[in-house]
Chains A and B, each alone.
Chain A
Amino acid sequence: DAGVTQSPTHLIKTRGQQVTLRCSPKSGHDTVSWYQQALGQGPQFIFQYYEEEERQRGNFPDRFSGHQFPNYSSELNVNALLLGDSALYLCASSLFTGNTEAFFGQGTRLTVV
């Protein structure tokens, strides 16, 4: 079992650009959640996808959007990048039913210059 995999591991973008991050959940999981972890801070919940729909959303602007595919993998898109979007972006997978353990990927380190 490969666990949760994220790509790419590192990324450098310029202000104003757009970025797409990808996540493959742990085998058997159907729910993907995305978190932003700024340097020196705890992860902050961005949103969650289940059955290809956004189910919950944290306090993030509409520049942050996502998608889930029929194979449960997910993408996080960020438009009009700001310097403040520089962070580690973590993907977590779980089962939608019940309060199950969330498994995290290693993250994508995004640097906006």
Chain B
Amino acid sequence: GNSVTQMEGPVTLSEEAFLTINCTYTATGYPSLFWYVQYPGEGLQLLLKATKADDKGSNKGFEATYRKETTSFHLEKGSVQVSDSAVYFCALPYGNNRLAFGKGNQVVVIP
């Protein structure tokens, strides 16, 4: 079935550093791919999405490219801020509007 795998462990980095969070997927066909963000004490917010292979989703300085050859959708940001501290989830849909999520990566940005 459709599933996503995120890199293990939290990510701690300094302000203005480059952020990469890895996500690989297993899917039938070419579903849309999503990154969601969860700020402390809040629910999930859609950060960005890509609906087909080679698409690049972008929002708030974050980018992710849907790469079918490597079945990946890695999240990147060139210069992180303290306000980017949150948990980031990679997700893909299966069935009708149900989502399979990765385990999430906690990102901590230190001033």
A positions within 8 Å CB-CB of B:
4, 6, 31, 33, 35, 40-45, 48, 55-56, 58, 90, 92, 94-96, 99-107
Q: Which residue of B lies closest to A108 (CB)?
A: B43
Determine whether B28 belongs to the interface, using a CB cutoff of 8 Å to chain A.
no
**Contacts A41-B103, A41-B104, A42-B104 given: A100-B43 contact, CB under 8 Å?**
no
Q: Which residue of B lies closest to A55 (CB)?
A: B96
On chain B, the residues within 8 Å of A103 by CB distance are 46
Task: Determine how close the nearest CB of chain A comes to the CB of B55; give it in whole angstroms.
Answer: 14
**Contacts A99-B32, A99-B93, A101-B49 given: A43-B98 contact, CB under 8 Å?**
no
Task: Determine how close the nearest CB of chain B comes to the CB of A56; give it in whole angstroms.
Answer: 5
A56 contact from B91, B98, B100, B102, Cβ within 8 A: B98
Contact with A along B88-111 (1 / 0, CB 8 A): 010101011111111110000000
Q: How many residues of B contact A (CB 8 A)?
A: 23
A102 contact from B31, B95, B97, Cβ within 8 A: B97
Q: Which 10 A-B pairs have CB atoms at the shortest separation, nearest pair first?
A: A42-B101, A104-B44, A106-B43, A104-B43, A94-B97, A45-B98, A42-B103, A107-B43, A43-B101, A42-B104
Q: Are A42 and B97 in contact (CB under 8 A)?
A: no
B positions within 8 Å CB-CB of A:
31-32, 36, 41-46, 49, 89, 91, 93, 95-104
What are 13 inter-chain pairs, A to B, with CB distance below 8 A? A4-B43, A41-B104, A42-B91, A43-B44, A43-B101, A44-B101, A48-B97, A92-B99, A99-B32, A99-B96, A102-B97, A104-B36, A106-B43
